Structure 1
């Protein structure tokens, strides 16, 4: 490990993944690049400074974050064109995955500047490989909107997504987000919560969403940390079987509207067959205990 050497190219941008928790997860190649580059563009220079201090690396830092990236990217392009080598890092994990940087990378491609990605830690992929949920097709969604209305709109748009879903969530919104998932995905949708990955209190648990909420409420400490949520994709019901969420909506509307109208509105909301819903409503009315 200590004898590893990698020669940095002049005028190249290096995308360098850093640890998401355990400092031992940084690669030898990443350390070699950080030691050699002329400049490190960091999401938070103070945070990156602590990592560099641990690695005993003295480097010049440049702040590049969401609020200044479009303005500062051109300055970095000019430095690269002058022959300087630059490493792009985020606070943790792989840059550009829910972090700034894509404006800079796009401008590098447009300017003909070489971009060199270094593989490394990524919370979404780390959680996915330990979830025990289908990983051949997945959809990364990052953080959901902060307000419940926005969250529910987004979740409803993904309600029938058959790929595995990946979200990030913070401590103070976790329970609200899971409650919205109950409303939008149904109480029995299976998911895996991965907490504090690679850190001392790493926890990975899989349960239907309502049971997961109960588990979190048993101990407030379980609600603290950084979370990745891996959610099983929507499973299409059998041809003659109606989705439970559709039936829930239909039954609610049946309490206020004529059956034909309730079936029509439900069909419009979910893109379902009106006749099938109307037949179900008739059967339900004739045999309410079924």
Structure 2
């Protein structure tokens, strides 16, 4: 006898009581920012001017994807491409919510069509083909459209003979697309292999977190691999590894500082220094 059964979910009657309205924001709310790391309270405007880095302790919070381009690119140089590509539901996937409904609601909440934005721009006058994951869209998960966009970053760099840069911040492959998602690991790596023939650099920038199939493919294949401070980087998370091997991991395991110490990445670059560091790298090898 099977230990599970598949049952049709019963629909409950909808309540006639209207949903409660959110409480009005308190006067002054949103003016201040409290750092999760040090507990310091600073004006939010100062925190945002620091590109979401705590002015007191230097803790790096998540940065919205479009601000990432403002941070590293020459002003006015970014041209977004492939914005018309949108994910589909090839498997008709449904868990607690239908995949197509989840895509629709995430678009309404974030304004993003998928978890990756790509295009061309310039850093210090040097043209680059680049893209960045958007962790705010389904945890930056990689589906078939994300894989296609990443591949096109390398394809454009190949066609234009310019450097390529990818900022990774992701939980890995998107389970709602199954094998179509896992295929993107090979697809993006093949596009990167084609790009290698033009002998232009690929700089991989790992943000917090960079895990799963993205870490296991193109994110760790850069000619230069750099990371932000204290970023979690690896294939499986520390808790999964500990439960699998039944051993306690060393302190700081899978953080960028640990990886730099063990030769897994080339440098740790604070966010406020990222533009200048990329400019230096491109001037040397671009």
Larger C-alpha radius of gyration, 1 or 2?
1
Question: Could you tell me the TM-score, scaled by structure 2's length?
Answer: 0.26
Which gives a bigger RCO, structure 1 or 2 (Cα 8 Å, sep 6+)?
1
Q: 1 or 2, which has the higher helix percentage?
A: 1
